Amino acid sequence: MSEGERPGSEGDLPLRDLAAAYGVATEFADWQGRAAPVAAATVVAVLAALGVDAPTPAAVRRALDEHGRATWSRMLPPCVVTRQDRTRSVDVHVRHGDPVEVWIELEDGGIGPGLGQLENWTPPRDIDGRLVGQASFEVPGDLPLGYHTLRARSPHEEASTTLIVTPGRLRPPERLGARRAWGFAAQLYSVRSRGSWGVGDLADLADLAVWSAAEAGAGFVLVNPLHAAAPVVPLDPSPYLPSTRRYGNPIYLRVEAIPEFVDLDDAARARVLTLRRQVHEQLDGADRIDRDTAWTAKCAALRLVSEVPRRAGREIAYAAYRRREGPGLEDHATWCALAELHGAEWRCWPEALRDPRSPVTLAFRAEHAEAVDFHRWMQWVLDEQLAGAQAAARRAGMALGVVHDLAVGVSADGSDAWSLPDVFASGITVGAPPDAFNQHGQDWTQPPWRPDRLAAQAYAPFRDVVAAVLRHGGGVRVDHIMGLFRLWWIPVGGLPTDGTYVRYDHEALVGILALEAHRAGALVVGEDLGVVEPWVRTYLAERGILGTSILWFERDVDGAPLPPERWREDCLASVTTHDLPPTAGYLAGDHVRLRETLGLLTRPIAEELAADARERRAWLDELRRRGALSPDGPSDEEATVAALHRFLTWTPARLVAVALTDAVGDRRTQNQPGTRDEYPNWRVPLSGPDGVPLLLEDVFADRRAAALAAVVRP
């Protein structure tokens, strides 16, 4: 088969079967619903990234045989995930004719019931000269939620595997009640105050939450991902391309809020205050978020604070934090210390240091114990300030408090990719195929998790990430939640159009997400925009995961605005999102002109502007028809923004989000998908209608913000 051929002919059936066995698509439906075949070269490259050698027909046949043999060679599956509301069967493989006993050890140390055997007339198979039989057992549907152990024993062998029991449906926290909740959606880095160091921080988050709860009755505040970036400049501005999703970004720390700050000696205190003053002199009023300047100064200040002796109780708390986090914290802190010395791209480090378990790396950890401990300590005080922000939000009356954002993946150069190399696929990046808004497709430059390796580790890496993001929040928004079902894998060196979908075990991933949210007393919102298989939204709703509804995208089958009474209830509704301009900019067609400037359109700008104008006109006509806007003619921008948000209150949506940019009349988008440095993505400060940057204190006194909050307040 040549490089450009498609695996669609009868002779290619073995390759198609092999791809199907590993969840690799050989055909998919594009954003217009048309069948799109995948090039054979792409399928072979993706299989190679999964550890499957399939360049020739003979290799394909060998790989198919090996795949079938692998299941029968194991006594138990790598992991078993089930729901509390249903039973499921588990296949056990033993020497043919041997009796086998299967039982459960519960997470709390108790012994669960023995499993009843089901009928299974599957013939035995010869595996390396040994006849192996298959027996099936039923896992009951009334087990307690949690991470248990499934054990099996026969006369000649025994084995164990992780049994994960997940909620059938995630229930909203009882404190949310039956009423709709609303909240501001904010890019925290852009929300600067007089007290922050050029970048919005966790003290600003607490103040924003308290103001919006106490003054406007908000039930939550939704923020961008706060995941850790590399600790060296230049910092990657994208919150969606982190070094790790398990740990936070210390740039969001408020130095003066760390308890040890008050015990600085006079010289150290003077140095910290000088650093803060210099940041304000350079960045106050700046039209770009300058993370490099802010972090350089803040990091120097944090080092001074970290050297202050801690009182006994604080030392005990720090030790407890280190024990809770275990090896994951050690690895991340070690990577950070190495990055400070050798640069953020670990693939360029000395070869021995590229292995987190090598003797050279372990020796580095011991020899640079102070540097490693500094990064451990920053994560501890960050954990405390995250807890403080959530506590302040709840004390102010928020039902949910902080709703965090979980990015879809991590940087290939980051801490996770270094410390968990076996879990990530090599030679592959993740992105998205072409759709209506990104007609060239997208390459997010992130390595994907291997589905097989996740299962082999009982999904521990995913469990750790979800537990961490929910530890100090009332909810989580999962970016591109379709990635728990399938991801668009692009072989390195190819275009986004050269990729294909790879499926994940959504029952396991969504189930674990629901389990961790249940334990945290939190809710989950899935960002289900873009190309979504229709059944996915139904499945998520059944599992209690809220969807995302953006007003501009909610349309009837004929393209007309979807009437409010037909919107789904189980969703977070908003007028706009961070990948679009604020509503003022959208009403002016800024998003079309920006994409034209950046070369992202595939048809003439006149056609795009005309189509966009028709869509916006349809919405404004709908608002006039329903009395939200004057029927006599055009309304001013502020009135139109208010009317669009009033429309959201007519829907049954459980949650409504108001972009903080809309509240103050800002019009510049935070991110233009499909670009990196062509546009200042994630570096635009919160500004007013005149484009002048605003401080958080200005927001608190802003008439427009108060008026828009009154529109959506229940």
**Residues 430-484: pLDDT tens digits?**
998 887 667 778 899 999 999 999 999 999 999 999 999 999 999 999 999 999 9
Percentage helix, strand, coil for the chain under 3-state DSSP, each rounded to 5 = 45, 20, 40
Domain count, the chain: 3
For residue 2, pLDDT beyond 60? no
| 263-266 contacts at long range (C-beta below 8 A, 24 or more positions apart) | 263/308, 263/309, 264/304, 264/305, 264/308
Confirm whether 708 is domain-assigned: yes
Same-domain check for residues 154 and 26: no
Smallest Cα–Cα separation from 493: which of 43, 15, 45, 26?
A: 45
pLDDT confidence of residue 291: 98
Q: Is residue 364 part of a domain?
A: no
Is 30 in the same domain as 125? no
Q: Is residue 667 part of a domain?
A: yes
3-state class (DSSP) for residue 564: helix
Domain ranges, residue 674: 581-714
Q: Residues 59, 143: one domain? A: no
Same domain, 676 and 623: yes
**Looking at residues 217-244, what average pLDDT do you find?**
97
CATH number at residue 159: 2.60.40.10
Q: Which of 305, 298, 291, 376 is nearest to 337 (CA)?
A: 376
Same domain, 119 and 67: no
User: Beta partners for 223?
Assistant: 186
**Residue 486 is assigned to a structural domain of this protein:** no
Kindly indicate the confidence band of residue 634, based on its pLDDT and cuts at 50, 70 and 90.
low
Confidence of residue 227 (pLDDT cuts 50, 70, 90): very high
Q: What's the mean per-residue pLDDT of the chain?
A: 94
- Give pLDDT tens digits for 310-369: 999 999 999 999 999 999 999 999 999 999 999 999 999 999 999 999 999 999 999 999
* Whether residue 33 sits in one domain with residue 58: yes
> Residue 635 above 80 pLDDT?
no
Position 415 in a domain? no
Q: Is the pLDDT of residue 11 over 60?
A: no
| Domain identity same for 158 and 35 | no
Taking 70 as the threshold, does the pLDDT of residue 166 lie above it? yes
Q: Write down the pTM of the prediction.
A: 0.95
- Residue 10's pLDDT band, with cuts at 50, 70 and 90, is very low
Asked if the peptide bond before residue 155 counts as cis, ω within 30 degrees of 0, the response is no
Beta-carbon contacts of residue 712 (< 8 Å; ≥ 6 apart): 182, 645, 646, 648, 649, 656, 658
pLDDT tens-place string over residues 636-658: 999 999 999 999 999 999 999 99
- Which residues are CB-neighbours of 619 under 8 A, at least 6 positions away? 551, 552, 561, 644
Residue 617 lies in a domain: yes
Enter the tokens of residue 209: 């939450």
Classify residue 37: in a domain, yes or no: yes
- Quote the pLDDT of residue 633: 65
Output the furthest CA–CA distance in the chain (Å, rounded): 85
Which pLDDT value is given to residue 437?
Answer: 64
Last residue of a domain, one of 137, 166, 195: 166
609 CB-near residues (< 8 Å, 6+ apart) = 589, 592, 593
* pLDDT surpasses 50 at 573: yes
Q: Among 147, 166, 185, where does a domain finish?
A: 166
What is the pLDDT confidence band of residue 3, given thresholds at 50, 70 and 90?
Answer: very low
Residue 593 lies in a domain: yes
Q: Of 166, 185, 215, which marks where a domain is finished?
A: 166
**φ/ψ (deg, to 5) at 186:** -135, 145
What is the structure's pLDDT at 315?
A: 98
